A = this chain, B = another copy of it.
Amino acid sequence: MSDPTKKSKPSSAANAEERAFLAAYDAAAFPHPSVAVDVAVMSVADGALHTLLVQRGDHPQKGRLALPGGFVGVKESLDAAAARVLAIKTGLRDLFLEQLYTFGDVGRDPRTRVITVAYYALVDRARVLRARPEQGAMVFARIDVPWKGEAGGPVRALDAEGRELPLAFDHADILGVVVKRLRGKLGYVPIGYELLPRRFALRQLQEIHEAVLGRKLNKDSFRRSVVASGLVAPTRELEHDVPYRPAELYRYVRSKSR
């Protein structure tokens, strides 16, 4: 019914160097599918979802931007591979990290058959800005969701000036599935907290929800339902450095004590 991979296409626009690489590549040495993991590190800034991209240092698609990824070791679980790739390519550890979907179309990698298990991670903005990769360089990209209601199709990645960033492989499709998953989860699981620091104002939480869902929410209803859920607790601390009445800060409680 839902086939998030159906729009993936083999990259056809390869330059001369890339074509030479592929011509010399010995695909026959890989008679079985290879397995990789890719991780979409999601955060929210300026009212929009952002992700973290790395520049590919090797062929294929050298120079293009891609989700941090890598091959799965033969004695390494998928979850462990995702955590390792995340740490190496972004320097981030101990994030909320969850499996998303597995992309396995035949032509998605021009070298040979590569099946990738996609993961997504959630981080708060301050932490992602302090992150430093152990290898390579990172780029922050704003996710631009085409307005087709519920999303699910490919999305665009934009740099700070609004220019579109070229994504490798089917990574735009992967980001589309991430957005769809986040929107679905937000309705019944409080993932919003993973995108905020430990203490936050309810307004910040609402902004997170609005950025993920792509629409405005009713302020009072949002406050009431969140507080009534018992999943947040007031801390008696107040915001500071705001030019208006500071709001009380809340924290996330896992054992809803009600």
Contact = CB atoms under 8 A, between A and B. Distances in A.
B106 A75 contact: yes
Taking the full assembly, how many copies of this chain does it contain? 2
B31 A1 contact: no
A77 B104 contact: yes
A159 interface: no
A221 interface: no
A78 interface: yes
Contact of A79 (B3, B77, B96, B98): B3
Interface in A96-140: 96, 98-99, 101-102, 104-106, 113, 115, 117
Contacts of A101: 99
A103 to B, nearest CB: 8
A121 to B, nearest CB: 11
A113 B81 CA distance: 14
B33 A113 contact: no
A33 B106 contact: no
A34 interface: yes
Nearest to A105: B77
A76 B33 CA distance: 10
13 contacts: A5-B79, A32-B32, A32-B35, A33-B35, A33-B74, A72-B115, A75-B113, A77-B104, A77-B105, A78-B104, A99-B102, A102-B117, A115-B117
7 smallest beta-carbon distances between A and B, as pairs = A78-B104, A102-B102, A33-B35, A102-B117, A77-B105, A74-B113, A77-B106
